[in-house]
Amino acid sequence: MRRVLLCLLNVTNNDAKYRAKVTQSCAYFSSTSPYCQDQPVQDRHIEEHERHSSTGPATRIHKLIASQSDPLLAKEIFDLASRHPDFQPSYAVFHSLIIKLGRAHHFSLMEPLLHSLKYHRFTISPSLFSHIIQIYGDARNPEKALKTFYTILEFNMKPRRRHLNQILEILVAHRDFIRPAFDLFKSAHRYGVPPNTRSYNILMRAFCLNDDLSIACSLLDKMYERDVLPDVESYRILIQGLCRKSQVNKAVDLLDDMLNKGFLPDTFCYTTLLNSLCRKKQLREAYKLLCRMKVKGCNPDIVHYNTVILGFCREGRALDACKVLEEMPENGCLPNLVSYRTLVGGLCDQGMYEKAKDYVNEMVSKGFSLHFSRVHTLIMGFCGLGKIDEACEIVEVLLKHQNTLHIDTWDGIIGRVCEDDAERLGDILEEIKKVEIKPGSRIVDIGAGFGDFIINRIKGRSRKKIILDEILDEMSPSSHYNKIDEPFLPLKLQTKVKEMETEKTGKRFAGKVAIVTASTQGIGFAIAQCLGFEGASLVISSRKQKNVDEAVEKLRGKGIEVLGVVCHVSNSQHRKNLIEKTLQKYGRIDVIVSNAAANPSVDSILETKESILDKLWDINVKASILLLQDAVAHLQKGSSVVLISSITAFNPPAGMSMYGVTKTALLGLTKALAAEMAPNTRVNCVAPGFVPTHFAEFLTKSDEIRNSLVEKTLLNRLGKTEDMASAAAFLASDDAAYITGETLVVAGGMPSRL
């Protein structure tokens, strides 16, 4: 036993804790007589106890292996025990060890144990069979799963249907293995496991997702040929697949076939069909299907009605949508908020403002909240027709029940009144001011809206400044202009204020708030400093408090208003805290520069570990998306987002291959976000060349590599952090007000572009 213990201790790599654990484990089975030829005399009482014990060495080894959390240690114990001629491993030992190694993805150690089972004439149990297949499935290795499935069949084990379905699900999850799954499915009867309904459903779903609808439909026919009864899910899968390929008429025929054979379609089948019919503008058929549902024993729910209402409204048939809504209570389904909002929007789009007004009043009477965009459209519609009284009536209803109204609506009403009847303006303002307003309500913007209208009709900047001051004095105290309350001003008035500040200070970011991530050194610090010199109130961040404090001290020493926040961009709580502290301090966000990046490996892509891939993706791409998700609701109109990519995005070099790929993703992300965030926010990207910062030190500190990089530029030098800062500041400023979705390469003429 001392030799066994010594062998175990030799594999512990001098780790004290590990050695102690091995020693403790060995002590558990060292007292058995086959292992205790050299046991000290004082331990003979243990030997005596073991002699009368019914627990043999194999059982104790099994318990020892089962107790190990480290599968490699468990395997080492098994191997050492196997060297003893008296040790006969039980099936339980193999079962426990195979599962441990498989779950840890040590397949090279697990597979020989499977063959050892055959050598020891053990039969693999259904439980172990299922575990092994699932282990390969979890590892996303369908090829190994299929190979192991066939290997286990060589043990003369008859698989069960759950094993067949399990391997089929693993295979069809990978597009390239749908055909092998189909081959296994067709040959399953040879192994005594004819496919059941679930087996067919798995294959049908796979072929539908792979757009092989003809094979999927033929499988349904074969089910009837082979006396396998399909279920509702079988039909649902095919209906969904046909609708995805816009074969709606075939899907309707399949629904009829389903009903004829005694199946009752569930609501999902009807929802899928109604959506497809409405998308294909077959509204008459959609309405007929809605009517048939109750006849066939499936009561339509609110989703079905709303789908048809939306379809009619999109096609300019709002009156038909009204008819559907009026039929809902008769069929035991009450309209909800979505029903009314959709209908009001459809009526307004067709200019039926009076009817839309009736439904708005009905919404209010039933306690539904009013959607701003729908009500704004209705009010503007009445204003466009010159029906100011009707518009004001809707305003009063809105204020009475929700106590809020968007500034754009006020501007529209007041502007229309001034154009038609300026004398009425004062009366309307006085009437609106009589409404009781809760603290913080945006009704205070009424003064700003009036001022916005007047300012646009006054010539001369100095005169406008005087009028502006008078308006701001007349506004309620909660809306007096300052850096926090500025968002409450209408856009045009905000623009005037910013123009005046810029004219006074000559700074492009005067009155604006900018967040720059990873900004305590290098390019990030240079960007933050540049924005600060241009008048921005800064929020900088870094992973370490020490770095944040040092950067804040430097910036404040240069007269820059700055807030420092610790933020690891891959930490969701840190990102939320960054946004919250910015709003608490400054009350707004105008500019976000996403600069954080990492390159923890110089390996080639195919040699990069999964953990490194995850880290690169999380920090270089995912963090920018999640940060903007947290911030988008607080971005001001006319705001700007700048993503920092890299010249390596266009041609990733060796040593930075995977880093370059993540930076390539930012180019596409810029395009996608620019489309999603327009017109409120512009999104652009800067792709810096090689800059001798701490981040790029491993490249620029070598004279040979440095000279090679310089030779690739047209300007015969590496970049400076100030070069990158100027580019980012330009894209973030109003100088680039008509630029969005673009990537600016700042690399001294170094070859780029895909």
What is the edge-to-edge ordering of all strands in the sheet holding 743-746?
A: 562-566, 537-542, 513-516, 589-594, 635-644, 681-688, 743-746
Residue 738 annotated to the active site: no
Question: Are the beta carbons of 617 and 609 closer than 8 angstroms?
Answer: no
What are 170's two structure tokens?
């693993």
Helix (H, G, I), strand (E, B) or coil at 519: coil
Helix (H, G, I), strand (E, B) or coil at 717: coil
CA angle 494, 376, 325 (to 5 degrees): 155
Cis peptide before 487 (omega within 30 of 0): no
In angstroms, the CA 522 to CA 543 distance is 14
SS (H, E, C) 419-471: HHCCHHHHHHHHHHHCCCCCCCCHHHHHHHHHHHHHHCCCCCHHHHHHHHHHH
Contacts for 179 with CB less than 8 Å, ≥ 6 apart? none
Of the candidates 520, 728, 547, which has an alpha carbon nearest to the alpha carbon of residue 641? 728
Residue type, 554: K
What are 166's two structure tokens?
């399990």
Catalytic one among 91, 340, 659, 738? 659
In angstroms, the CA 225 to CA 237 distance is 19
Q: How many CB atoms lie within 10 A of CB 154?
A: 9
Q: How many CB atoms lie within 10 A of CB 598?
A: 18
What beta strand segments (E) does 570-627 contain? Answer: 589-594
Question: Are the beta carbons of 9 and 19 closer than 8 angstroms?
Answer: yes
Q: How many CB atoms lie within 10 A of CB 584?
A: 10
In angstroms, the CA 453 to CA 49 distance is 100
In angstroms, the CA 89 to CA 72 distance is 17
What are 751's two structure tokens?
């070859």
What is the pairing mode between strands 743-746 and 562-566?
Answer: unpaired
In angstroms, the CA 591 to CA 732 distance is 7
What are 427's two structure tokens?
């009366």
267 CB-contact burial (10 Å; exposed 0-12 / middle 13-18 / buried 19+): middle
What are 128's two structure tokens?
């172990």
Of the candidates 345, 252, 350, 364, which has an alpha carbon nearest to the alpha carbon of residue 306? 345
In angstroms, the CA 609 to CA 140 distance is 16
End-to-end CA distance of the chain: 66
In angstroms, the CA 378 to CA 360 distance is 9
Residue type, 394: I
Question: Would you give the DSSP letter of residue 597?
Answer: -
Question: Are the beta carbons of 57 and 34 closer than 8 angstroms?
Answer: yes
* H-only helix segments in 350-406: 353-365, 372-384, 388-402
Q: How many CB atoms lie within 10 A of CB 643?
A: 25
Dihedral class, residue 398 (left if φ above 0, else alpha if ψ from -120 to 50, else beta): alpha
Alpha carbon 316 to its chain centroid, in Å, reads 34
- The residues carrying an active-site annotation are 659
